A and B are shown apart, each in its own frame.
Chain A
Amino acid sequence: AQTVTQSQPEMSVQEAETVTLSCTYDTSESDYYLFWYKQPPSRQMILVIRQEAYKQQNATENRFSVNFQKAAKSFSLKISDSQLGDAAMYFCAYRTAYSGAGSYQLTFGKGTKLSVIP
């Protein structure tokens, strides 16, 4: 079974600065997807960024980028120019690419609570 580990329960960053959230995972599969989800106080799950394991290029979405190290099974999220609205819980998640059962469920880490200091 796959596991996802987020070793930083809480992080803080000054507004306009850059912060990196860590995520490691364990899998025996070679093809899979990795995600970062943001959960603000409203508790809605919002997709921030996703990475396909077969792509060597790191995904980027505006101020959000990832550092995907496949051999190290590491998938960190970098937030540049942090804004007050970035304050939230951030969850790293893993999903298999192939499922004979027709199920593509996500396995989540425990999350990192990010605070943004004005």
Chain B
Amino acid sequence: EPEVTQTPSHQVTQMGQEVILRCVPISNHLYFYWYRQILGQKVEFLVSFYNNEISEKSEIFDDQFSVERPDGSNFTLKIRSTKLEDSAMYFCASSVFGRGGYTFGSGTRLTVV
């Protein structure tokens, strides 16, 4: 069964450093998403991406965050200057249709020290 692949599975970074989280969505999917889950809390929407542009973003997704689909297969989330409160699990998801079911990746655990 096709999978959404996320790398790395765990990343530790120093506060103030830039990090790039990578995702390879399922190849025929058209809608892409990033979500965040702080430990012990609910999963929160960050941003959606369709037709090579951001279609919607939450208030969490401030100027420190950006997304790209640089080569038609990878989908990346960049955090420019990490803060301690950015420590969380970050999930990538994709779907073939807007109304279709999602497939989530297995997540990247980001730890900011």
Contact = CB atoms under 8 A, between A and B. Distances in A.
A64 interface: no
A16 to B, nearest CB: 29
A42 B37 CA distance: 13
Given A101-B56, A102-B50, A91 B42 contact: yes
B43 A45 contact: yes
Contacts of B89: 43
Contacts of B43: 45, 91, 93, 106, 108
B40 to A, nearest CB: 9
B106 interface: yes
Nearest to B109: A43
Given A102-B48, A102-B55, A108 B31 contact: no
A62 interface: no
A93 B44 CA distance: 11
A101 B51 CA distance: 11
Interface residues of A, number: 24
Nearest to B45: A105
Task: Tell me the dominant secondary structure on chain B's binding face.
Answer: strand
Interface in A71-118: 91, 93, 97, 99, 101-111
Contact of A44 (B33, B41, B101, B104): B104
8 contacts: A42-B106, A44-B106, A45-B91, A46-B104, A102-B48, A103-B98, A105-B56, A110-B42
Interface of B: 31, 33, 35, 37, 41-45, 48, 50-51, 55-56, 58, 89, 91, 93, 95, 98-99, 101-102, 104, 106-107, 109
Interface of A: 33, 37, 42-47, 50, 91, 93, 97, 99, 101-111
Given A97-B99, A101-B56, 10 more contacts: A46-B104, A47-B104, A99-B56, A103-B56, A105-B48, A105-B56, A106-B43, A106-B102, A108-B43, A108-B44
